[in-house]
């Protein structure tokens, strides 16, 4: 293996040609060594990348298998839960059907069937014992309770209907206020009077309260118009002067 030599070394004086040739050989050999070293380095890098790629692919495949196992596990749990729900629903349907028959037997409104069911379920009463253990000892209570539930439902419906009525009256009053040029200051008062009188929508348009607020609005507007005319006239006189 040739080594590079110096032209200025004592031993190389007068041997410039030999030194040049030697250095050319040394450079060529060095280039070959560097090239081989680079190729080896690139080969190692390629192997490293291949190993990392293979590792990544194994990890991806393992993660996919894990997710698949999780999906299968969750699906089995969902199927199991669905079967449990179906079983519970079937049981509940049988209980409620029996309770409705029992309520009919004792002339109890089935509005309280759900409460009888909940009591039987909480006490773990067998299907065949619901009548003797839950209903018969408390027939008067369940009869009164069904009446109370009916009244509560009627009150609930009445509250909803009242809320809907109030909203519809307000909406229609807004339309009338816009159409009849009623001032906004009378809006709340008109709401209250219409609701207090339980006026239906057909009556609102021609209700005396509407006429009253139309007149009051016109009166206020006329006063404001006269004040504006007076102000404009006074301004014109000042300008002329």
In a domain, residue 200? The reply is yes
Which residues make Cβ contacts (< 8 Å) with residue 120, sequence separation at least 6?
Answer: 95, 99, 130, 133, 134
* Burial class of residue 119 in the structure, from the number of CB atoms within 10 Å of its CB (0-12 exposed, 13-18 middle, 19+ buried): middle
Is residue 97 within 8 Å of 127, Cβ to Cβ? no
pLDDT at 12: 60
Same domain, 116 and 165: yes
Q: pLDDT of 2-12, one tens digit each? A: 666 565 666 66
Closest to 169 measured CA to CA, from 207, 133, 223? 207
Same domain, 61 and 177: no
Same domain, 56 and 114: no
In a domain, residue 185? The reply is yes
User: Does the structure show a pLDDT above 70 at 89?
Assistant: yes
In a domain, residue 121? The reply is yes
Same domain, 57 and 117: no
Confidence tier at 110 by pLDDT (50, 70, 90)? confident
Same domain, 59 and 139: no
Same domain, 60 and 113: no
In a domain, residue 70? The reply is no
pLDDT at 229: 79
Same domain, 35 and 126: no
In this prediction, residues 96-106 reach a mean pLDDT of 90
Same domain, 145 and 29: no
HEC assignment per residue over the chain: CCCCCCCCCHHHCCCHHHHHHHHHHHHHHHHHHHHHHHHHHHHHHHHHHHHHHHHHHHHHHHHHHHHHHHHHHHHHHHHHHHHHHHHHHHHHHHHHHHHHHHHHHCCCCHHHHHHHHHHHHHCCCCHHHHHHHHHHHHHHHHHHHHHHHHHHHHHHHHHHHHHHHHHHHHHHHHHHHHHHCCCHHHHHHHHHHHHHCCCCHHHHCCCHHHHHHHHHHHHHHHHHHHHHHHHHHHHHHHHHC
Query: What is the span of the domain harbouring residue 36?
Result: 10-65
Confidence tier at 241 by pLDDT (50, 70, 90)? low
pLDDT at 93: 92
In a domain, residue 2? The reply is no
| Token output for 11 | 């031993």
In a domain, residue 81? The reply is no
In a domain, residue 91? The reply is no
Q: Count how many domains the chain has.
A: 2
Same domain, 115 and 20: no
In a domain, residue 176? The reply is yes
pLDDT at 15: 64
Confidence tier at 203 by pLDDT (50, 70, 90)? confident
């Amino acid at each position: 293996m040739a080594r590079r030599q110096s032209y200025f070394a004592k031993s190389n004086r007068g041997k410039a040609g030999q030194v040049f040739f030697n250095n050319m050989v040394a450079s060529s050999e060095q280039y070959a060594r560097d090239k081989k070293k680079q190729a080896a380095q690139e080969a190692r890098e390629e192997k490293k990348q291949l190993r990392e790629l293979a590792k990544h692919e194994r990890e991806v495949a393992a993660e996919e298998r894990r997710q698949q196992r999780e999906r299968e596990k969750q699906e089995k749990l969902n199927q199991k839960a669905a079967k449990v729900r179906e079983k519970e629903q079937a049981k509940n349907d049988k209980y409620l059907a029996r309770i409705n028959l029992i309520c009919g037997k004792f002339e109890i409104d089935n509005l309280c069937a759900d409460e009888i069911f909940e009591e039987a379920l909480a006490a773990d009463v067998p299907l065949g014992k619901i009548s003797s253990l839950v209903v018969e000892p408390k027939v008067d209570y369940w009869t009164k309770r069904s009446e109370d539930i009916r009244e509560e439902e009627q009150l609930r419906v009445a509250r909803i209907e009242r809320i809907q009525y109030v909203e519809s009256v307000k909406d229609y009053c807004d339309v009338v206020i816009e159409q009849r040029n009623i001032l906004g200051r009378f809006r709340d008062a008109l709401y209250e009077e219409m609701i207090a009188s339980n006026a239906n929508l057909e009556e609102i348009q021609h209700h005396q309260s509407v006429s009253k607020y139309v007149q009051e609005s016109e009166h206020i507007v006329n006063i404001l118009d006269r004040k504006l005319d007076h102000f404009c006239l006074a301004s014109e006189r000042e300008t002329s002067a």
